[in-house]
Structure 1
């Protein structure tokens, strides 16, 4: 089975965020991810990782004003100063936590707008250059329009074409199985075709985003396919537990 990373934004919500590191370690995890760490001091997070023997698998760049509805800045031409500031912030947290990859959200923008496309490419080039200097991979993730209407990057083919065209060695795909199923379906074929550019995988049951194995997909078979494809990265458990987090981990115990 792959190496799993507990998503601390969604899992272990029974306790406060800084207590979730110990909770994840106590449940048998050796890696974690989350959406955004920026409400907490980077060195405090680094200490929690070290004390609990955890690897930081992933986090996102600052998304702009999340509470006001922003979902990333990379494709927004009038927010490029803020985007570059967000890069500096994310790289400081990356340095403190030792994370190897960061996800950058595109933002809400019209896919038919050529200025948004130009801005997005420029943002990715800037971030990949800055991140590459420290050995970081940059991930882009298509997000389905049902959960996030208006999101600029909402197609796996678009993401794959962009990665091929830009040919940046540290620009990779974040393959979220939940989003893939909702956008395109054909999850196994997608994994097989896109594996050379995949830098991170996430999983949740479709359609309710609860524990794997509780939805319409054979998640256990998908995870076995990752082994067959020799995927050696993390699988982020970006799901919302239907009840108590630890009780809900029975699906993972059964796999092992």
Structure 2
């Protein structure tokens, strides 16, 4: 969905994990297209064969923007990602290769490499060194594929113990590894919960931002349901020259279609 405002253009992708949950997952592609979206993102395509996801996208006339690397089984040390978990190197590598396979089949240009939670018994420096080594290896695999790897910091209120400390740490890792291949996933919701100053931090990190996601706080609903000044935030993103997509990774407060009224109130 490409939306024009006085500040410029924003390109919005529906997140099919969070939106259109009124219908089964395979029906959300058509529902997103009917609502005016031309692009989607979602964390895990791995429950379906690549050809089946490709068919759902093509039938609905949608582009796939982003997928995540695979998560481990629920309750396992890698349930939130394997990159930050010493001892899970092979699982991490297998997951990256699988993600790149799906990204190629779906023509997704961004893969979010999930950091995961540092095991309590593992030294913080060792876990971070493992993370940097893993991201360096992943960058080698992604180089030349047209896929950019995105690093996302999850706020510690929602996921205590999540390895990646902040967006600024993500930016430092991307810069050290290869900023052409690795970038920052700038999630406005997590940024607000983490320490605020959303616009200032977006401007500072802008050269390294590979993808943007939005939701309001508190509640993680659609823009306009919380405290974030989305009129200013989205206007600044539109003026910045950011050419990527903005993933709508929010939980609609009172239904997906009705909740889309925020577009008129805040952007148009």
Structure 1 SS opposite 2:236? helix
Q: 1:60 aligns with which of 68, 75, 82?
A: 68
Q: 1:168 to 1:232 in 2, by over 3 A?
A: closer
**Could you report, residue by residue, the CA deviation over 1:25-60 in whole angstroms, capped at 9, with x for unpaired residues?**
000000100111111111111111111111111010
Unaligned runs of 5+ in 2: 1-8
Count of matched residue pairs: 256
Distance 2:138 2:72 in 1: 16
Residue 166 of structure 1: aligned partner: 177
Residue 187 of structure 2: aligned partner: 176
TM-score normalised over the length of structure 2: 0.92
Unaligned runs of 5+ in 1: none
Structure 1 position 3, deviation (Å): 0.2
| Contact kept? 2:135, 2:177, Cα under 8 Å | no
Structure 1 position 172, deviation (Å): 0.2
Q: 2:111 aligns with which of 102, 106, 111?
A: 102
| Contact kept? 2:153, 2:166, Cα under 8 Å | yes
Deviates more, 1:158-167 or 1:229-238: 158-167
Aligned counterparts, 1:136-155, within 5 A: 136-155=147-166
Deviates more, 1:167-176 or 1:192-201: 167-176
| Contact kept? 2:156, 2:162, Cα under 8 Å | yes
Structure 1 position 104, deviation (Å): 0.7
**Could you report, residue by residue, the CA deviation over 1:80-101 in whole angstroms, capped at 9, with x for unpaired residues?**
1111111121111111100001
Distance 1:51 1:66 in 2: 32
Distance 1:13 1:126 in 2: 36
| Contact kept? 1:74, 1:105, Cα under 8 Å | yes
Question: How big is the alpha-carbon RMSD for the aligned residues of Structure 1 and Structure 2?
Answer: 1.4
Q: 1:115 aligns with which of 104, 126, 131?
A: 126
Deviates more, 1:151-160 or 1:70-79: 151-160
Aligned counterparts, 1:236-251, within 5 A: 236-251=247-262
Say if 2:14 is the partner of 1:6: yes
Q: 1:180 to 1:27 in 2, by over 3 A?
A: same
| Runs of 4+ with >4 A deviation | none
Residue 82 of structure 1: aligned partner: 91
Deviates more, 1:61-70 or 1:113-122: 61-70
| Contact kept? 2:214, 2:223, Cα under 8 Å | yes
